Structures are given as C-alpha cells and as structure tokens.
C-alpha cells in the first residue's frame, strides 16, 4: 500500500443521497471522494420504473444526476470499491483504506458488449433481480455509469472467448485488488438500505412459487429495458390478468425483526398498480393492506387516483399463499373489517417488500464507534435539530442509511448532511 490520496470529504455510497451530498459539496469547491461498492452509480433509484406521485420516469431524473456527479472536476469516483479502517486522528482529520476490486476489464472498454455475446456462461442477473440471466462478463445494465464491463470471476470459465473478441484489448485477467490510503477532513455515510428478504416468510412461497415475485422484480418488468417484452408471469410467460399485492411484507412485523413502517411501500405499490393497469388494460389489480399511509405531498390524491382507475384496495392481512397446478395462487387472508378468514385467487402475486437497514457502515470504523439506532440504522444523535449528525463529530448521514424514506426526503437529507459537513469544515457545526 503506497499511494496516499487527500480530499476534504469522503462520501460512502453512490445512490441518490450520496450523489446529492457529493454534488452540493463539490459545487462549493470542496474536494470529494465518492466510494461506491457496486459496479455503477445510481443506487436503487436507477433500477426503478417511474416515481410516485408524479409518475415521472426514474431513469430520466437520475441519469443526469449520475452524469453530473461523474463529470464534476471536484469529485473523484471509485466504483466497485470500498473503504475500511476509518480512523479519526483529530478534529478534521480522518484516514481510511480504499479498496479497489478488480473488474478484469480496463478503462479501455467501450461498452460494446461483443464480449457478452461470445461468453458461454449464463448466471442470474442481479440487476434484473434474477428474473433473467446475464453472462459471466457483463455491462451491469444499459444506462450503467461507468459503462464498463466486468468479469464475474467466481463464475468465469476462463475460456478466453471475451479476450479474443475484444477489439479494445480491455480484458486483463492479471488485475489485482488495489489498496491505498486516503486522508479526509469529514465523512458522509450514504450507504442506503437493503430490501427485505421474503424467503424469511416461507408461508408466502417466494422462491418456491415462481409467480410470487417481489416489488423490485415488478419495477424491472415496468421499465423500458425490462427483462421480458411485457409484464409476464415468470413461471409460464402468461400475461397475468388478476394481480395481487401483499403490502407490509417484512415491515411492521415483529416476527421478522422489522417492526417499523418502511414508508414507501404503500405509495410504490399504488404506483405500480397504476402502471400495471396502463401496461395491461384488461388486468384486475388488488392491494391487500393493513393501513394505507399516504402522508406526503400529493400522496392522498395519488391514492384516490389509483382507486379512481379501478385498483381494488382490500383491508386484509395475508396469512398464507398456496399454488395451484396451473401456477395460479390462492391467498388466505384475514378481512380486517369483518375479522373473517377469506380466500381469493390471483394469477400473480407481488410482495411489497420493506426496507431494512444496511448495517455495512458499522464495520467501517476502526478507532471510533458509530452508534446504531434500535433498528440498526445510523443513529441520528440529535434527530430534531441536527438530523444529519451521528455519534462521531465530523461524520454525517444522508438518505436511507438513517431510516426508511423516499427519494425527495433522501435528497433533502443529503442537503442537510452536506450543509452540516460544510459548516464542520469551516469550524462550525459537529
């Protein structure tokens, strides 16, 4: 480890909150290093279809932001990289180790994807949430930034087909992990959230019944670069005509260790229901919910718009999902108004999975400890008057790393984190 790099601020996480924080500070003249563990910038937002309550195209909003971040002269971006061993040496002085993982493809890559055509290995595509396959060498997705391929070395057969076809000579199997030391004056944690894993509720059948999918898989089916040519049932490719949503899957549920509300599922399910009705005008869509939480600006109107379009809202708690031989699904649920157990048949079920803490950040620090809240999110030590402050002076939090929130609130939170960071750099706020 030889190279030393110096910046004003380290931003960890390249989702919308990390990008917004980095841009705010870079525009004020601060030098920012943005470290993203994935192959591309954009976080979860870049995988969404449209956004509630305006139904604007998610990619159209987020790609200009990604592009502005990636071109800013004051921002140095490290994708497919992580930081570790963050040490606080003094006020305004942190050191850390930057780990750059090997892609086995150099920056000479033009993103032409000829290598993908020749690669013989097919594995699940994590960017299509496993609905379809990808090759062992792959450009993550069409609007990835940077648009550079990577080799998934764990699944690569080392056949060399990619090397033979690459006109840019970008394949380099000798690449190794690189470590360097970085020095910064302040840190922003923007590591985002994890999706709830629905296999933790086996009675819903996710992973056993192919026509039970997650809301993120439905997001992918609704984007223009979707895995199939329409919204389809994964089991048999049939166009569904009676789709159910199970809200609060893994949220407000003590039994799975996540008692809190995920804040976005009521609205993203209402959004998807409207988009599904646009894609499949003959389809019936039913949302099973405990309470509809439409608390934000324009949310109640958006909910009423869904009702007006014919989306059926059933106040019911789904207990179990069973599969019939033809792949259709039987939902057993408690009708909350009558207290009766009811049954309904649907040909596809979408689990509206909740948001969970990504506790990655807690492992990053060495000589200082970052406090977690009771739900494993970054603890906001002064949530009412200084919501971005953490238990470590000079370390701030942005976006869903501090708790579930939607995109506008993540952007507001990033505004607060970057303003507080700028104040700290000037010798003010902690």
Ligand X SMILES: Cc1cc2nc3c(=O)[nH]c(=O)nc-3n(C[C@H](O)[C@H](O)[C@H](O)COP(=O)(O)OP(=O)(O)OC[C@H]3O[C@@H](n4cnc5c(N)ncnc54)[C@H](O)[C@@H]3O)c2cc1C
Q: Which residues are near ligand X by CB under 6 A?
A: 12-18, 35-38, 43-45, 48, 51-52, 82, 190-193, 195, 215-216, 219, 264, 268, 271, 358, 360, 399-400, 405-407, 410
Distance in Å, CB of 412 to ligand X, minimum? 11
Distance in Å, CB of 12 to ligand X, minimum? 5
State which residue, 172 or 409, has the beta carbon closest to ligand X. Answer: 409
Distance in Å, CB of 128 to ligand X, minimum? 14
State which residue, 144 or 149, has the beta carbon closest to ligand X. Answer: 144
Q: How remote is the C-alpha of 388 from its chain's centroid?
A: 20
State which residue, 161 or 389, has the beta carbon closest to ligand X. Answer: 389
CA–CA separation, 62 and 40 (whole Å): 13
CA angle 238, 241, 243 (to 5 degrees): 105
State which residue, 170 or 358, has the beta carbon closest to ligand X. Answer: 358
State which residue, 43 or 205, has the beta carbon closest to ligand X. Answer: 43
Distance in Å, CB of 204 to ligand X, minimum? 16
Cβ contact 231:240 at 8 Å: yes
State which residue, 86 or 170, has the beta carbon closest to ligand X. Answer: 86
* Among candidate residues 69, 72, 73, 25, the one with its CA nearest the CA of residue 46: 69
Q: Which residues contact 297 (CB under 8 A, 6 or more apart)?
A: 53
**Token representation of residue 111:** 């993103």
Distance in Å, CB of 44 to ligand X, minimum? 4
The DSSP string of 20-46 is HHHHHHHHTT--EEEE-SSSSS-TTGG
CA–CA separation, 140 and 409 (whole Å): 27
Number of residues that this document lists for the chain: 430
Strands (E), 192-240: 193-195, 212-214
Distance in Å, CB of 158 to ligand X, minimum? 27
Tokens 């406090």 identify what position? Answer: 371
């Amino acid at each position: 480890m030889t190279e030393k790099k110096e910046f004003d601020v380290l931003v960890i996480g390249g989702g919308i909150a990390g990008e917004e924080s980095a841009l705010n500070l870079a525009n004020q003249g601060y030098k920012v290093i943005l470290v993203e563990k994935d192959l591309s910038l954009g976080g979860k937002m870049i995988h969404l279809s449209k956004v509630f309550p305006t139904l604007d195209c998610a990619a159209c909003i987020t790609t200009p932001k990604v592009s502005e971040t990636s071109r800013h002269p004051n921002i140095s971006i490290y994708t497919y990289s992580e930081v570790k061993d963050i040490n606080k040496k003094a006020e305004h002085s942190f050191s850390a180790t930057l780990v750059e993982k090997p892609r086995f493809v150099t920056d000479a890559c033009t993103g032409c994807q000829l290598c993908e055509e020749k690669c013989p290995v097919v594995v699940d595509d994590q960017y299509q949430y496993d609905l379809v396959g990808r090759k062992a060498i792959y450009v993550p997705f069409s609007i990835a930034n940077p648009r550079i391929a990577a080799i998934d070395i764990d699944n690569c057969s080392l056949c060399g087909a990619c090397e033979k076809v690459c006109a840019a000579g970008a394949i380099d199997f000798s690449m190794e992990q690189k470590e360097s030391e970085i020095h910064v004056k302040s840190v922003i944690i923007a590591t985002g959230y994890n999706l709830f894993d629905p296999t933790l509720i086996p009675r819903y059948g996710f992973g056993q019944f192919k026509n039970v999918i997650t809301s993120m898989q439905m997001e992918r089916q609704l984007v223009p670069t979707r895995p199939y040519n329409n919204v389809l049932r994964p089991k048999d490719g049939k166009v569904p005509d009676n789709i159910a949503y199970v809200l609060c899957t893994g949220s407000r549920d003590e039994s799975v260790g996540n008692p809190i509300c995920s804040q976005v599922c009521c609205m993203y399910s209402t959004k998807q229901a409207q988009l599904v009705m646009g894609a499949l005008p003959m389809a019936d869509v039913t949302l099973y919910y405990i309470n509809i939480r439409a608390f934000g600006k324009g949310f109640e109107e958006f909910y009423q718009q869904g009702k007006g379009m014919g989306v059926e809202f059933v106040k019911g708690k789904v207990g179990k999902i069973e599969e019939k031989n033809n792949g259709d699904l039987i939902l057993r649920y408690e009708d909350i108004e009558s207290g009766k157990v009811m049954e309904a048949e649907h040909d596809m079920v979408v689990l509206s999975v909740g948001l969970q803490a990504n506790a990655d950040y807690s492992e990053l620090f060495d000589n200082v400890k970052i406090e977690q809240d009771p739900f494993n999110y970054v603890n906001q030590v002064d949530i009412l008057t200084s919501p971005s402050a953490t238990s470590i002076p000079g370390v701030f939090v942005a976006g869903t790393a501090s708790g579930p929130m939607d995109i506008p609130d993540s952007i507001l939170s990033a505004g607060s984190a970057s303003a507080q960071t700028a104040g700290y750099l000037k010798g003010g706020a902690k």
